[in-house]
């Protein structure tokens, strides 16, 4: 594997303050009580999928690994914590030496998950594990929500191209993470150059309406773009009159015109008319790209239209109405000391509501039916049954504080295609429903 396949290792500032204050105050109290070193197991999971969704998509694992590596307190941070009286002197001294030295197991990126799936299992001392809670959840909740929306849109597109173009609709750093998650979920390209630079995602882009409005005539604008970018460019044809614009576009670029983009109007109707016009003008190979606030439902409604690619922005980077996965990070087992020989004891919050959880260090496997299709997500805390031994889902990500499982983004993208294909066909339905397979505990 070429190291370039992993993307550029852009300098990342410390992630140590991407956390909530109570993580540090818990460490202070545990240090004083003598319990900070107790061997502990934390798990990230969700109790339910977003309403109506049939499966979730794991995304952000690679970013979590970066965050764990970069979780350390520099002098400026320690000064801030001291001046704000966040923690006491002994705790500051402990934080100054902090580096995660434990183990992390998790679902590989691109895999699907269901309620209760132990998506990430973090093992080490209580203090070093609890500090990672907020940054892990921040990444997984955001990226997995975007990847799930992307997966639904990819399924609805049915193999047609998908362009991520939501950078202007979200925070500038979220835009980069969103493009990465969307690529895992099935998008082909992004308009965001930072995402292309950092993660080697193919980038695309030509012109906006402003470029047409800049010129005295639409023909002048098209000529300028073709002269600069070549006949294979994509011309935006809905600034004024679509029919006239398509005619002008072919006159300027010839029948070798790469594509036309439609950004407004009745996309179903306009796409049919544009296709017919292009064919009559001899531009039979010219593709049609549609944009305009699309989501998975709009994409599905255009299945019968002669559309070659979709550009999606707002709905994608906001999770198409579900901007978080509601994942939580809970202590599920702990020992009475740091002694590795001391057995772990299951622990869990007791709740009368929907916030109860299952204690114990868990494994997960996916049981298949006779056709090789998933029929249940099986989660247990004891020995793994022999029939499920080769169907286990968690893989080792960090060992003794060292990352051991970095992979190219394309590997996660391909894994998602395979994982989704292994679900029952009803997983691809856009109608609201329950998780496509049940979760069973052993």
All residue ranges of the chain with pLDDT < 50 are 3
- Cβ(82)–Cβ(74) under 8 Å? no
- Cβ(421)–Cβ(128) under 8 Å? no
- Contacts with 422 (C-beta within 8 Å, 6 or more apart), sequence order: 366, 368, 372, 373, 374
Please name which of 99, 114, 105, 140 lies closest in space to residue 55, comparing C-alpha atoms. 114
Rg (CA), the chain: 25
Residue spans in the chain of domains classed CATH 3.20.20.70: 146-321
CATH architecture of 146-321: Alpha-Beta Barrel (3.20)
Residue 353's pLDDT is: 67
CA-to-CA distance for 330 and 442, rounded, in angstroms? 19
CA-to-CA distance for 147 and 158, rounded, in angstroms? 17
* Packing angle of the helix pair 89-96, 21-33 (nearest 10 deg): 110
Burial of 219 (0-12, 13-18, 19+ CB in 10 A): middle
Residue 5's pLDDT is: 63
Q: Is the pTM of this model over 0.85?
A: yes
Encoded tokens for 60: 């952000």
Residue spans in the chain of domains classed CATH 3.20.140.10: 3-131+326-441
- Cβ(98)–Cβ(16) under 8 Å? yes
Q: In what order do the strands lie in the sheet with 234-236?
A: 189-190, 161-164, 309-312, 287-290, 259-262, 234-236
179-182, long-range: CB within 8 Å, 24+ apart, which pairs?
180/59, 180/62, 180/63, 180/143, 180/409, 181/59, 181/60, 181/142, 181/143, 181/144, 181/146, 181/147, 181/150, 182/146, 182/147, 182/150, 182/316
CA-to-CA distance for 278 and 257, rounded, in angstroms? 10
CATH architecture of 3-131+326-441: Alpha-Beta Barrel (3.20)
């Amino acid at each position: 594997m070429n190291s370039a396949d992993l993307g550029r290792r852009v300098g990342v500032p410390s992630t140590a303050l991407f956390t909530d204050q109570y993580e540090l105050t818990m460490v202070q109290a545990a240090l004083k009580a003598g319990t900070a070193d107790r061997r502990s197991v934390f798990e990230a999971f969700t109790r339910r999928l977003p309403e109506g969704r049939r499966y979730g998509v794991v995304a952000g694992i690679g970013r979590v690994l970066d965050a764990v590596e970069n979780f350390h307190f520099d002098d400026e941070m320690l000064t801030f914590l001291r001046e704000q009286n966040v923690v006491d002197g002994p705790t500051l001294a402990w934080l100054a030496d902090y580096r995660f030295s434990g183990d992390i197991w998790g679902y590989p990126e691109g895999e699907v998950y269901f309620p209760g799936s132990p998506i990430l299992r973090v093992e080490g001392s209580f203090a070093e594990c609890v500090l990672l809670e907020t940054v892990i959840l921040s990444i997984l909740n955001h990226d997995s929500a975007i990847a799930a929306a992307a997966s639904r849109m990819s399924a609805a597109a049915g193999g047609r191209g998908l362009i991520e173009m939501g950078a202007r609709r979200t925070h500038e750093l979220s835009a980069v993470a969103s493009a990465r998650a969307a690529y895992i979920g099935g998008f082909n390209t992004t308009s965001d150059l930072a995402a292309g630079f950092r993660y080697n995602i193919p980038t695309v882009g030509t012109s906006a309406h402003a470029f047409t409005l800049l010129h005295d005539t639409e023909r002048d604008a098209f000529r300028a773009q073709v002269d600069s970018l070549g006949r294979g460019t994509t011309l935006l044809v809905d600034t004024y009159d679509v029919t006239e614009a398509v005619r002008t576009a072919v006159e300027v670029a010839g029948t070798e015109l790469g594509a036309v983009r439609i950004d407004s109007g009745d996309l179903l109707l306009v796409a049919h008319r544009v296709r017919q016009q292009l064919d009559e003008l001899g531009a039979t190979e010219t593709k049609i790209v549609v944009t305009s606030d699309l989501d998975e439902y709009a994409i599905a409604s255009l299945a019968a239209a002669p559309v070659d690619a979709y550009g999606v922005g707002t709905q994608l980077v906001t999770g198409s109405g579900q901007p978080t996965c509601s994942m939580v990070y809970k202590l599920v087992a702990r020992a009475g000391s740091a002694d590795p020989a001391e057995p772990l004891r299951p622990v869990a919050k007791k709740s009368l509501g929907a916030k109860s959880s299952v204690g114990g260090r868990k494994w997960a496997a996916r049981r298949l039916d006779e056709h090789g299709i998933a029929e249940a997500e099986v989660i247990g805390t004891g020995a793994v049954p022999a029939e499920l031994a080769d169907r286990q889902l968690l893989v080792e990500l960090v060992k003794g504080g060292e990352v051991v499982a970095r992979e190219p983004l394309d590997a996660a993208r391909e894994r998602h295609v395979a994982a989704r294909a292994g679900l029952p066909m009803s997983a691809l339905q856009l109608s609201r429903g329950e998780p496509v397979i049940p979760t069973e505990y052993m």
